[in-house]
Amino acid sequence: MQVYKEQKQIKAELESFRGEHLSIGFVPTMGALHEGHLALVKEALNQNDKVVVSIFVNPTQFNNAIDLEKYPRTLQDDVALLQTLGEDRVVVYAPTVEDIYGGHIESQQFDFDGLEQEMEGKFRPGHFNGVGTVVKRLFEIVAPHKAYFGKKDFQQLAIIKRLVHKYDIPVQIIGCKIQREPNGLAMSSRNARLTSEQKKAASFIYQTLTTAKAQFVTKSADEVTKWVEQQFSAHEFFELEYFNIADQDTLKPIQRKTRQKSYRAFIAVYADDIRLIDNIGLN
């Protein structure tokens, strides 16, 4: 499997693909790959001739220096996992910070029409400027026909769709369903940092979301939110950062339930210093 460290090299390879009229799918990642990423790559392989997987821990999207420092970096294992697909159509781009940012590790400032102000935006200031900056840069380098993102980061997916629309970037964004561990825990690179005890206990997060969904049929968003907050109030392993029921399109907190709108519940919790997020569609 080809692993390119420099954009110059991968651009040349991609140029030759384009010369042969091959379609290019793109799966941007920060590495520490797991089955959730593989599902994105498989979907991309089904829909494209070639697939580029980028592996880059993007410094500008971390608002917390410890999180950035502790973020797992496992390039060799990542490549080995991709090789288990037995596909010669996958190409890896694993650039250095220098290759992406030159000497200026800075975010561009974006206006995503308020999508960036909610939830993750509130608790991780600057995060979506960092995501927007790197994804826009990666789209410029890879120029894919289609790009694949997991719905675990539902707000990120909405923001990337807005980015592409605002900047007229000719790429189709495909949102893929959340991949879960057998106990319901949403797959995430950060799960690698959980102890086995925490991982087992983390089934509680998805269980709480599914019960909240059932409650939302007859209860108000406020009632459901209070119930969720109660569940976490004295939890042995998890500290709730937020639980929100929001309009799926605007991501604004629900005001009054109406049949015409689609709602989604979003949650962020801490297990020690490990931050986990998840979400569930409510109707």
- Residues forming the active site: 37
Interface with ligand PAF, residue 144, by CB under 6 A = no
Count CA atoms within 13 Å of residue 11 on its CB side. Answer: 10
Among 32, 44, 94, 131, binds ligand PAF (CB under 6 A): 131
Q: What distances in angstroms separate CA 156 from CA 48, 109, 214, 230, 255, one per listed residue?
A: 23, 15, 26, 28, 22
Beta bridge mates, 261: none
Interface with ligand PAF, residue 155, by CB under 6 A = no
d(Cα 265, Cα 216) in Å, to the nearest integer? 10
Q: How many CB atoms sit inside 10 A of residue 74's CB?
A: 15
Among 32, 135, 194, 224, binds ligand PAF (CB under 6 A): 135
Nearest-approach distance from CB 110 to ligand PAF, in angstroms: 14
- Helix, strand, or coil (residue 97): helix
Q: Is the Cβ of residue 110 or residue 216 nearer to ligand PAF in the bound state?
A: 110
Interface with ligand PAF, residue 52, by CB under 6 A = no
Interface with ligand PAF, residue 153, by CB under 6 A = yes
Q: Is the Cβ of residue 137 or residue 200 nearer to ligand PAF in the bound state?
A: 137
Q: Is the Cβ of residue 118 or residue 216 nearer to ligand PAF in the bound state?
A: 118
| Strands across the sheet containing 274-281 | 238-247, 263-271, 274-281
Among 33, 51, 134, 267, binds ligand PAF (CB under 6 A): 134
User: Which alpha helices (H) appear in the chain, and where do they start and end?
Assistant: 7-19, 35-47, 65-70, 75-83, 97-101, 120-123, 127-142, 154-166, 196-201, 203-216, 221-233
Nearest-approach distance from CB 24 to ligand PAF, in angstroms: 17
Interface with ligand PAF, residue 132, by CB under 6 A = no
Which of positions 10-29 make contact with ligand PAF (CB under 6 A)?
Answer: 28-29
Among 25, 41, 53, 61, binds ligand PAF (CB under 6 A): 61
Structure tokens at 187: 């797959």
d(Cα 227, Cα 208) in Å, to the nearest integer? 9
Size of the site for ligand PAF (CB under 6 A): 10
Binding site for ligand PAF (CB under 6 A): 28-30, 58, 61, 131, 134-135, 153, 156
